[in-house]
Structure 1
Amino acid sequence: MLLLAFVVTSLLLSTVISWLAIMKNGFFLEHHHKMIISMFSGSSIGLATGSMLAILYKGDLYASTISSMVTGALIAVLFCMPLGRDHMLGGLMSGLMGGMMGAMVNEMVPMAEAYELTKIFTVLMISSVFLYHIFNKAEQRVTKSWLFKHLLLFFFLTAAMVGGNIVTKAPDFHSNDLQHQHIMD
């Protein structure tokens, strides 16, 4: 249940921060930068929501896939709406495909690994917010301070992932899943 709260909180914060970043820097982003942001964020949002919903609907691939596709697409549209109509459509399709892939991947792996994949996908989703800053300064040369800022950002994301891992420990699952036992004749 803590994993669900972690993913939903990350989704909400990422969407709000995305809107604020667009309000501040959106006019300075070029068309191809907006497209990269919409595709990366849409697919990472879809992967995070798809993997989370696959955990909730474990064992029902149809329900988890359909709900993941719809949820991933809707949240990606909200995330990419400030970028413009074209980019919102790119985000919609990326969220749709990411939701489908996240659900299918987490249906195929045991539950303990599904928890870990969901955390990884959530950190990828959070990292998409930082693309606004990177592309706003796209013409800037790589300097020591630029590199230091991005290394600091990398350590922040790693701390978020480790912190999420500590807070949302996966339950202890036994390997008695019937779908993963293979009987030899």
Structure 2
Amino acid sequence: MGNYELFILGSLCLLTLIVVTLAIVWRKKFRTMHGMMISMFFGMNVGLTAGVLFGVTYQGNLYFSTILSMAIGFLAGALCGFCFGILSVLEGVMAGLMGGMMGAMLGEMIIVNQSINLIQIFLFLSISTIFVIIILKSSKETKIENKRWFLKPVLLSVFIAVYIIAGNSLAEKNGELKNSELQHSGHSSTINNTEGFNKNSQFIAIETTEMKYSKTKIVVEKDKPITLTLTNLDKIDHDIEIRTSFFNRIKKSEHNHGADKNMLHLHAAPENMEMLTFTLTKSGVYEFYCTIPGHKELGMIGRFIVS
């Protein structure tokens, strides 16, 4: 778990403390229905924020990310609802569980860049619970005595925006640093591992990032050794599978699970590189794709064109 994930979780913890404190201080000013509304709003949005965060962080393990997200949504909704009574606790808990479950499913299906935008939206909505509390605590008879009153929500909104933008900047820097380090180590490893190959070998390097292959159309020659490297720059597993019986495997990776005579399979763990050497013995077009559930449908597919 990186700096951005810790930033979001820390923000949710701090926000929960603030919301609970405000609810305790002003709880006498709220009706039962108000307490239920605040608890539901807070539990749902915290659950969604945590759900998308864990869903994209632990893609491929939906059960684990769902349990974590539901636990955080449950806790946030329960703590907020506890300030107002048993009905508010039930409302907050159910909303938190629902938000965590939906968020985790959403995080499982999207790429990292999309998740950051959604996390920002849900985090802003979670912080907006403070606005909801302030609005509901004010009676209908309350009058605005001075136009400067409007500066309070405006300044608070600006502060929230700056806070979220700073977190987004942290995420981008963290991601760029990791990708840079991985690409450097990956290219170095590639050079060292290919020095001994025959000059007639065909070298194909494919990288995976944000649920995409860097190459989707590859032209090779029949009966000529192909050295294929798969560098996984994402935080989830990826692989390449080619369904054909017209090949000869020369050298396989330790993580190659393709013992089947009718397919070639190359698997790369998150932020790792694996390699496979083989020849294709018949001209034609061979489809390759990622076999991790849902990845092919998101566009992780390509073609080997054998001349």
Give the TM interval when normalised to the shorter protein: 0.7 to 0.9
State the 1:20 CA deviation.
1.5
Rg: which structure is higher? Answer: 2
Question: Given that residues 50 and 69 in structure 2 are in contact (C-alpha distance below 8 angstroms), is that contact kept between their aligned partners in structure 1?
Answer: yes
Q: CA deviation at 1:67?
A: 2.7
Q: Note if contact 2:39-2:92 (Cα within 8 Å) is conserved in structure 1.
A: yes
Q: For 1:132-143, list aligned pairs within 5 A.
A: 132-139=133-140, 140-141=142-143
Deviant stretches of 4+, over 3 Å: 182-185
Tell me what 1:107 maps to.
108
Is the CA contact (8 Å cut-off) linking 2:43 and 2:93 kept in structure 1?
Answer: yes
Q: Which residue of 1 aligns with 2:39?
A: 38
Report if the CA contact (8 A) 1:41-1:128 is conserved.
Answer: yes
1:184 CA displacement: 8.8
The separation in 1 between residues aligned to 2:39 and 2:159, in whole angstroms, is: 23
* Cα distance change on mapping 1:146 and 1:69 into 2, 3 Å: same
Give the structure-1-normalised TM-score.
0.87
- 1:64-79 equivalence runs, <5 A: 64-79=65-80
Q: What letter is aligned with 2:80? A: F
Aligned-CA RMSD value: 2.3
| 1:171 matched residue in structure 2 | 175
Residue 115 of structure 1, CA deviation = 2.5
- 1:87-133 superposed Cα distances (whole Å, 9 cap, x missing partner): 01100010011001111111111122112322322222122133222
Local SS of the residue matching 2:64: helix
In terms of mean alpha carbon deviation, does 141-150 or 30-39 score higher? 141-150
1:42: how far off?
0.8
Determine if the alignment matches structure 1 residue 158 to structure 2 residue 276.
no
Size of the aligned set, in residue pairs, is 185
Distance in structure 1 (CA, Å) of the matches to 2:149 and 2:34: 19
Distance, in Å, in 2 between the alignment partners of 1:104 and 1:55 is: 9
- CA distance in 2 between partners of 1:138 and 1:41 (Å): 21
Q: Secondary structure at the match of 2:128?
A: helix
- Greater helix share, 1 or 2? 1
Which residue of structure 2 lines up, in the alignment, with residue 89 of structure 1? 90
Equivalent position amino acid for 1:165 in 2: N
What amino acid is aligned across from residue 153 of structure 2 in structure 1?
Answer: H
Tell whether the 8 Å contact from 2:32 to 2:84 is kept in structure 1 after alignment.
Answer: no
Distance 2:301 2:58 in 1: 26
1:27 is aligned to 28
Q: Separation in 2 of the partners of 1:51 and 1:112?
A: 12
Q: CA deviation at 1:151?
A: 2.0
Separation in 2 of the partners of 1:56 and 1:183?
23
Percent of aligned pairs with the same amino acid: 33
Alpha-carbon shift at residue 138 of structure 1 (Å): 4.0
Give the direction of change, closer, same or farther, for the CA distance of 1:183–1:93 in structure 2 (3 Å limit).
Answer: same
Q: Any idea what the Cα deviations from partners look like across 1:15-67, whole Å, max 9, x if unmatched?
A: 21122212221111122221221111010110111112112311222322233
CA distance in structure 2 between the partners assigned to 1:116 and 1:108 by the alignment: 14
The one-letter amino acid of 1:106's match is G
Look up the SS of the partner of 2:175 in the other structure: coil
Q: Which has the higher strand share?
A: 2
Runs (5+) with no aligned partner, structure 1: none
d(CA) in 1 for partners of 2:72, 2:26: 27
Gaps of 5+ in 2: 177-208, 214-237, 239-289
Secondary structure of 1:83's aligned partner: coil
Range 97-106 or range 139-148, more displaced: 139-148
Residue 171 of structure 1 aligns to a residue whose secondary structure is helix
User: Structure 1 residue 183: deviation in Å?
Assistant: 4.9
Pick 1 or 2: higher relative contact order, CA cutoff 8 A, min separation 6: 1
Which amino acid in the other structure matches residue 63 of structure 2?
A: Y
TM-score (norm 2): 0.55
